[in-house]
Amino acid sequence: MLEFFATLHWGAVLQIIVIDILLGGDNAVVIALACRNLPASQRTKGILWGTAGAIVLRVALIAFAVVLLDVPLLKFTGGLLLLWIGVRLLAPAHDVHENIKPADKLVSAIKTIIVADAVMSLDNVIAIAGAAEAADPAHRIALVIFGLVVSIPLIVWGSQLVLKLLDRFPIVITLGAALLGWIAGGLIINDPAGDRWPILDTPVAEYGMSIAGALFVVIVGYLLKRRNAHRAAV
């Protein structure tokens, strides 16, 4: 153990921690959105278990980061999935099913957090994997895990803060869902399958797709929310 710390590349450790902190903002938003409808007594459980599952999955993704990012249509498919997750977080399906048990809601929230984080991490993991490249090959996965573990308190605290904002300012729910749509649009247009069309490889196209993704989530989510409210009233 002492030898491990003595030979550790502390510069890489610092880079990974900084990356995790910078990339933890969108994770905190997803976690807060997924847990906002849980009973107050289960919110902390949802945040902790969802974060733990997302961290484990991210470590696995980082181990295969370079290969994953080069698979055609993977980002495209992930982007479509994230669009739907954003819509459902804005207009939860269980709004019209009040008889769902709290335990089922907790499991559903945890699943949503893990799936959304996995999709959003497709681009993010390459940054962490790149930072770990400077270290000894035998230390890389350990470095990644260490950096993620250090960032957990920040993500959990950020999620708690966003939850408080959601309770006080409902507009934050819409902004959070729009953020997921923005990320989804970026994933879709940056898929390797689109490399054959140079017109897609421009800042204008990328920003346009991100804006389109954000608008799609907000508009479709709003329409579904209205439909759910109408059904509940009937």
Tell me the per-residue pLDDT of 19-75, one tens digit each, with 9 for 90 and over: 666 656 677 888 888 888 888 888 888 888 988 888 788 777 777 765 665 677 777
Q: Tell me, what's the pLDDT at 24?
A: 65
Residue 20 lies in a domain: yes
Tell me the percentage of the chain whose pLDDT exceeds 70: 66
Residue 217 has what pLDDT?
A: 92
**pLDDT reported for residue 212:** 93
Backbone angles phi and psi of 71, in degrees to 5: -75, 120
Q: Are 173 and 33 a contacting pair, CB within 8 Å? A: yes
pLDDT, tens digit (0-9, with 9 covering 90-100), for 154-208? 777 888 888 888 888 888 888 888 888 888 888 888 777 766 666 666 778 888 8
Q: Domain limits at 219?
A: 9-233
- The mean per-residue pLDDT over the stretch 118-131 comes to 66
What distance in Å separates the CA atoms of residue 77 and residue 187, rounded to the nearest whole number?
9
167 or 135, greater pLDDT: 167
Q: Which two tokens stand for residue 141?
A: 């996965």
**pLDDT for residue 99 is more than 60:** no
Average pLDDT over residues 135-147: 67
pLDDT at 87: 87
Residue-wise pLDDT tens digits, 193-233: 766 666 666 778 888 888 999 999 999 999 988 888 887 77
Q: Quick one: pLDDT at residue 95?
A: 44
Q: What is the pLDDT of residue 102?
A: 53
2 inside domain? no
**Residue 129 contacts by C-beta under 8 Å, 6 or more apart in sequence?**
62, 65, 66, 140, 144
User: Residue 35 and residue 87: Cα distance in Å, rounded?
Assistant: 15
Please report whether residue 1 resides in a domain. Answer: no
**Mean of pLDDT values over 112-126:** 74
* Residue 4 covered by a domain: no
80 domain residue, yes or no? yes
Domain count, the chain: 1
- Residue 11: predicted pLDDT: 67
Give the CA-trace dihedral at 49, 54, 56, 62, to 10 degrees.
-170
Strands, DSSP E only, in 24-81?
A: none
